[in-house]
Copies of this chain bind each other. A is one copy, B any other.
């Protein structure tokens, strides 16, 4: 078994790989009290593992929120602020965010705004958390039924990524995280894409390697552009349309996973890439095939497209009322800030519905 990878950067340090939890023991030393924020599933399945790996750590309080994207809400943010008040948490205490993307997003925002900022460490417990949500300082909640409408950029002190937590992960969560792994391959990491191509997430046998590769891709980007002024925007490939779909299904009362929505978004935006940058048809068909072999398509109809388009207009990536996309020039190379006209976006959704091949 290899030693975990240590990346000591400012302002965040990372420990990634097997035994990362044990190696994180020194990170707790300078703080007064330790408060864990988690959800009911993670509390049951992962908190015992966390405690067992850090037997001498004293936990002074556990705040448990309700799991699920539909609960990344102002109500739960207020619940956490109330609990932090009740526990009299101060600026010299440390908050441990133990969970998937919902926990690290909402608890990161809660920690960063309680008494104008309590330090926190992220321990992602899902694949999506390990390769994406826990890295890069984006925190927030959904609001007025828009994804991440309220939040802030604020970095955790450390991110500790230990694959041990994945042992208890449900199938749906594997699939959701896999969409982001595919995305890194497509936007920046041809070598990763080559490892993935033709694989179904059920067949992957070297998750540890894939997680380290994907997490490093994300760290490389956010170190360079923490506030998403430039190259970090490449990470939004698949997300402009994907977020609108995610919001649409959340609004309709039938939430889908982030990965399912992003997978659909990547099909639409690969089509946009071929239409706008002339990405080769053979590449586009490869991408669509790979995604289709891992994700079932949504069955929205043409009549529903106007409502999906409306949600897209509230996207944070809108500038001067034009939709900005991150698209692919080819596999492994993304370009950001591509303005796309509304009628072409609609066509990409129709392409998705029609299940056509590239033409």
Chain A residues in the interface with B (C-beta under 8 A)? 32, 74, 78, 81-82, 85, 88, 90-92, 109, 112-117, 138, 140, 143-144, 146, 148-154, 313-314, 316, 318-320
Contacts and interface: CB of A to CB of B under 8 A. Distances in A.
A91 B152 contact: no
Contacts of A138: 116
Contact of A143 (B74, B85, B152): B85
B85 A149 contact: yes
Contacts of A140: 113, 116
A337 B216 CA distance: 41
In the assembly, how many copies of this chain are there? 2
B113 A150 contact: yes
B81 A112 contact: no
A350 to B, nearest CB: 25
Given A316-B90, A318-B90, A116 B85 contact: no
A152 B113 contact: yes
Contacts of A112: 152
Given A88-B313, A117-B152, A149-B115, A144 B320 contact: no
A138 B117 CA distance: 11
A323 to B, nearest CB: 12
Contacts of A117: 152-153
B320 A92 contact: yes
A97 B74 CA distance: 23
Nearest to A145: B85
A183 to B, nearest CB: 20
A146 to B, nearest CB: 7
B319 A85 contact: no
Given A85-B314, A140-B116, A320 B149 contact: no
A90 B319 contact: yes
